[in-house]
Amino acid sequence: MAERLRADLVLEYPFTRTTGPVIGAFLTGLREGIVLGIRRPDGTVLCPPTEYDPETSAPLTELVEVGPGGELVSWTWVDPPRSQSPWDQPHGLGMVRLDGADTPMVHGLLVDSPDELSVGMRVTARWRSEREGHIADLEGFVPEGAGQ
Amino acid sequence: MRDIAVVSVAQSQEKALTHTTEVELMVPIINEARGAVGLTQDDIGFTCSGSSDFLAGQAFSFVHTLDAVGAVPPISESHVEMDGAWALYESWVKLQIGGIDTALVYSYGKSSPGSLRDVLSTQLDPYYLGPLWPDAFAMAALQARIMLDSGTVSEQRLAEIAVRSLNGAADNPLAVRSSADANVDSVLAEAPIADPLRPSDCAASADGGVAVVLAAGDRARELCERPAWIKGIDHRIDPHQPGVRDLTRAPSAHKAAVEAGAGNDRLDAAELAAPFTTQEHILEAELGLGSDTAVNASGGALAGHTMMAAGLMRIADAARQIHEGRANRVLGHAASGLFLQQNLVCVMEGE
């Protein structure tokens, strides 16, 4: 049986994208340490925000600040951490409905063990000290009161 | 509308095709599908494939695979960067337009060189989700916990679905994971791979390919003793962001099933391309499958999930049951994207 052949392959798309008025505002907000959602015509707030209403496709424009605290809607445990993710330690992955938002967002849960996680628990954002307008400016969520 | 039928199917699937290129994989499969109905490429009016250049790691890799078809003299051909079930849909539309009576549809995927659960992160939106590289099992686990917490499904029921696949696959030579002895207790005893999901909740990744020949009207009757007539086919899509959806449901699957007429009569069998037990459970409800329908007798996609081909394989498995006279009305399903974001339903009947 021959050995499996190996070759390095760098797959890349060297394009520049414009993030637009909604995603761009959200990412700029992250750089400033705030989380933005967007209001739908029915008054509910989507976070993360989308440019168009997911049901009616109507353009959405009214950005509102949400969080930084929220409620854990669902979680799993990631061990080992995935090699390309922003996290190098075992961590939780969760869906967090931020205060003021009606939809949950997916992000990391920074705790030492899955025993610390439960649906319905209060969590709050932990920010990186250096931020550049990227989803990973938000380091993840920690249990409320655990120190940001 | 023209009457169009699946008249021939062929497929192959293994855990890992380490030493086989996509062309080498597809030559015998395409030859078998055409040969079974006595056709050569000269007799094919339209050829359409489904595969992923991204998975292959090479732009326009699908063009290479045309070597397995034979594209000289030039042929009428198309490709979708989707599961082959959508290539079948395009071919069905082409046949409806008319001017041709036959079509060859094929698809293939070879994910074994990489880690598919991580590669699938690249199908997520590139701003909110993709940069976090949440792997496919972890994402499915988020959905699973919501389903379990809301009482949409129980761990017992998920284990029963896993056992149905493992047991059914025991008689399917194309399955890459099977067990005649598996039972609910043995599945529930598995340690979670992405809490609350266990290994048997997640589809077994596979490499493989599938080819299908379609024919219209009397041409189908000439070629096949018992054609699998496509009575309805439809595909729909839901929003991408997980937060804006009710993750206990798949409205696009329901809509596709309604539009394809799935509920118009009793279904003898259904083959579902669900990559997780949780999603197979959702599909059974959304497609309205009752206890009188044999679901995934082959083991389904859980027993062997070839990325880009799992859906067309399900349609092929369903059609074969009509060809062999084992069923008279069947449903084949294909899915794509996060949490069953996109769904295709194909309802077929014998005459």
At A76, is the pLDDT very low, low, confident or very high (cuts 50, 70, 90)?
A: very high
Q: Count Cα neighbours of B198 within 13 Å in the Cβ-side half-sphere.
A: 18
Taking residues B179-187, what's their average pLDDT?
97
DSSP of B237-264: E--S-GGGS-TT--HHHHHHHHHTTGGG
Taking residues A28-38, what's their average pLDDT?
98
- In chain A, % of residues over pLDDT 70: 98
Mean pLDDT, rounded, of chain B:
96
Domain B4-114+205-228 and domain B116-153+231-349, same fold? Reply is yes
Among residues B51, B13, B26, B41, the alpha carbon closest in space to that of B104 is found at B41
Which residue in the set B133, B138, B142 is minimally distant from A84, CB to CB? B133
Taking residues B225-248, what's their average pLDDT?
96
Position A3 pLDDT exceeds 90: no
Taking residues A37-43, what's their average pLDDT?
97
The reply to whether B145 touches chain A by the CB within 8 Å rule is yes
Condensed to tens digits (0 to 9), the pLDDT of residues B248-297 reads 999 999 999 999 999 999 999 999 999 999 999 999 999 999 999 999 99
Q: Which residues of B touch A17 (CB under 8 A)?
A: 126
The region of weakest confidence among A16-20, A58-62, A117-121 is: A16-20
The hierarchical CATH code for the domain B116-153+231-349 is: 3.40.47.10
Taking residues B325-350, what's their average pLDDT?
97
Contact B141 A76 (CB under 8 A): yes
Condensed to tens digits (0 to 9), the pLDDT of residues B150-169 reads 999 999 999 999 999 999 99
**Within the 39-78 window of chain A, which residues sit less than 8 Å (CB to CB) from chain B?**
46-48, 50, 54-55, 73-78
Helix (H) or strand (E) holding B213: strand B205-216
Position B332 pLDDT exceeds 70: yes
**Within the 20-39 window of chain A, which residues sit less than 8 Å (CB to CB) from chain B?**
23, 26-27
The reply to whether A132 touches chain B by the CB within 8 Å rule is no
Before A68, cis peptide (omega within 30)?
yes
ipTM of the prediction: 0.92
pLDDT of residue B58: 84
- In chain B, % of residues over pLDDT 70: 100
The reply to whether A19 touches chain B by the CB within 8 Å rule is yes
Q: Which residues of A touch B119 (CB under 8 A)?
A: none
Q: How far is CA B278 from CA A28, A106, B189, B193, B240, in A?
A: 37, 19, 18, 14, 18
pLDDT of residue A145: 84
Q: Which residues of A touch B146 (CB under 8 A)?
A: 73-74, 95
Which chain B residue has the Cα nearest residue A30? B128
Taking residues A112-118, what's their average pLDDT?
97
pLDDT of residue B319: 98
Q: Count Cα neighbours of B161 within 13 Å in the Cβ-side half-sphere.
A: 28
pLDDT of residue A147: 59
The reply to whether A111 touches chain B by the CB within 8 Å rule is no
Contact B127 A23 (CB under 8 A): yes
Condensed to tens digits (0 to 9), the pLDDT of residues B17-67 reads 988 999 999 999 999 999 999 999 999 999 999 999 988 888 899 999 999
Among residues B280, B254, B308, the alpha carbon closest in space to that of B143 is found at B280
At B116, is the pLDDT very low, low, confident or very high (cuts 50, 70, 90)?
A: very high
Query: Where do the structural domains in chain B lie, given as residue ranges?
Result: 4-114+205-228, 116-153+231-349
Interface test with B, best of A76, A82, A117 (most B CBs within 10 A): A76
pLDDT of residue A11: 73
* Residues 6+ positions from B73 with CB-CB distance below 8 Å: none
The reply to whether B127 touches chain A by the CB within 8 Å rule is yes
The reply to whether A93 touches chain B by the CB within 8 Å rule is yes
Question: How far apart are the C-alpha atoms of B45 and B125, rounded to whole Å?
Answer: 37
Neighbours of A114 (CB within 10 A): 18
Q: Which residues of B touch A82 (CB under 8 A)?
A: 118, 121, 133-135
Which residue in the set B135, B146, B196 is minimally distant from A73, CB to CB? B146
Report, at the CATH architecture level, how domain B4-114+205-228 is classified: 3-Layer(aba) Sandwich (3.40)
